[in-house]
Amino acid sequence: MCKHKLYENLKKCIFGASEIPILGCLVGKNGVRPDPEKVRVINEWSTLSNVKELRQFLGLATYLCKYVENYAGKIRPLSQLLKKEAEWKWTAECQQAFDAVKQGLTEAPILAVADQDRPFHVVCDASDFAIGCAFFMHDHEGRDCVVYYQSRQLKPAERNYPVHDKELLAMKYALAKFRVYLLGSRPFVVYTDHASLRTAVKSPHISQRMARWLSVFAEYDFRVEYKPERLNVVADALSRRPDYAVKTADANRIGVESVSAPSSSLIDDVKAACASDADAKQLLSYASAPSDEARRKLAPHLRARAHRYRVHEGLLLYSAVDDDVICIVVPNDHDLRMRIITSGCASTYVLARCVNA
């Protein structure tokens, strides 16, 4: 240090310590844990009475969110109060969320310190209402150690994405959050419970949205491996917390939830038309159980957009490339389409834009 003219202030030095404070955390030989003083401040925080106090509380809590599994899910009732149109009303659900954040920090695990010489892997998952991921490292005994947790709620437009795109979004979110560890590092693995993502980065048939995301993936050296949902426990839990779920009917998201539903006979006729249409039958079969093998069995003209189809209660749904609205697929049956338009259900069922199967 003297040679390079570096000097230390003895008053700020710590010698022979098992752990030292750094940027609000305590770093030791066993890993990283939140500063007990900051945790104490949060635990002693009194019940909030206005938006300003809520922002102050979340500002400190969010700084420590990497220690709390599914932090975004825990604070969802609180984040709803920050919306412009929201009326301040401290409910029992808000109090539970408030207490859950305190408890989560009190019970926060010791996170491992990322070691660039050890193998990394990321797990990610998406549900209908959230995405979650976790960053792991193998210790010297080959055990998985958590380095970071991350999760967030899906935006209204993102909730309309087809399943394939939601899973890709979760992967993109994970790489962005853990970029400082992963970019330029040795090759790593991303685990997902959506098998088709293994070939997504190499597929020649992609949407504009996927093309943008793939340009981000190209910066990293990784491979995607399939891990069944029953084994992908951490990421699955991060993305599927019940209080993340949208509790009100969302006509744009599902397309068949509506305050003025048409007759069941019309629904049955749409299903029957799909069942008798060659292309629609193939897409129904694929969307019910998507896989690489099932995709290869599709007619060539259907493969490019196959990932945009999904099945809901026997109906085939489609998400357009440049439109987040999900539509019900109606085959080339002129009479049936005219019935839908003249019945007054087109706008309710988002059927004005009928998509050719």
Burial of 5 (0-12, 13-18, 19+ CB in 10 A): exposed
pLDDT digits (tens, 9 = 90+) for 320-343: 544 445 678 888 777 877 777 665
Query: DSSP state, 329?
Result: B
What does CATH list as the number for 120-149+165-239? 3.30.420.10
> Where is 309: in which H helix or E strand?
strand 309-312
pLDDT digits (tens, 9 = 90+) for 48-85: 889 988 988 888 777 777 777 777 778 888 988 988 88
Question: Which residue from 246, 238, 247, 248 is spatially nearest to 73, judged by alpha carbons?
Answer: 238
Cα 70 to Cα 14: distance, rounded to the nearest angstrom: 34
- Specify which residues 151 forms β-bridges with: 132
Cα-based distances in Å from 139 to 33, 117, 144: 17, 10, 7
Residue 187 CB-half CA count within 13 A: 4
Residue 209, both tokens? 């949205």
Q: Which of 121-125, 148-152, 218-222, 262-266 has the lowest mean pLDDT?
A: 262-266
Residue 317, both tokens? 């749904």
Sign of CA dihedral 82, 83, 85, 91: negative
Question: Which residue from 39, 103, 32 is spatially nearest to 71, judged by alpha carbons?
Answer: 103
- Specify which residues 190 forms β-bridges with: 122, 224
Cα-based distances in Å from 306 to 205, 299, 300: 9, 10, 10
Q: Where are the domains of the chain?
A: 19-106, 120-149+165-239, 251-342
pLDDT digits (tens, 9 = 90+) for 297-317: 888 888 877 888 888 878 888
- Specify which residues 327 forms β-bridges with: 318
Instruction: Yes or no: say if 160 and 324 are a contact pair by the CB < 8 Å rule.
Output: yes
Cα-based distances in Å from 313 to 142, 160, 267, 325: 44, 16, 10, 18
* Total residue length of the chain: 357
Task: Return the pLDDT at 343.
Answer: 59
Strands 188-192 and 120-126: parallel
pLDDT at 147 over 60: yes
Burial of 118 (0-12, 13-18, 19+ CB in 10 A): middle
pLDDT at 253 over 50: no
Task: Return the pLDDT at 204.
Answer: 67
Name the CATH architecture for the domain at 19-106.
2-Layer Sandwich (3.30)
Percentage of the chain with pLDDT > 70?
A: 80
Cα 43 to Cα 254: distance, rounded to the nearest angstrom: 40
Query: DSSP state, 47?
Result: P
pLDDT digits (tens, 9 = 90+) for 81-115: 988 888 899 999 999 988 888 888 777 667 788 88
> Where is 252: in which H helix or E strand?
helix 251-254
Percentage of the chain with pLDDT > 90?
A: 5
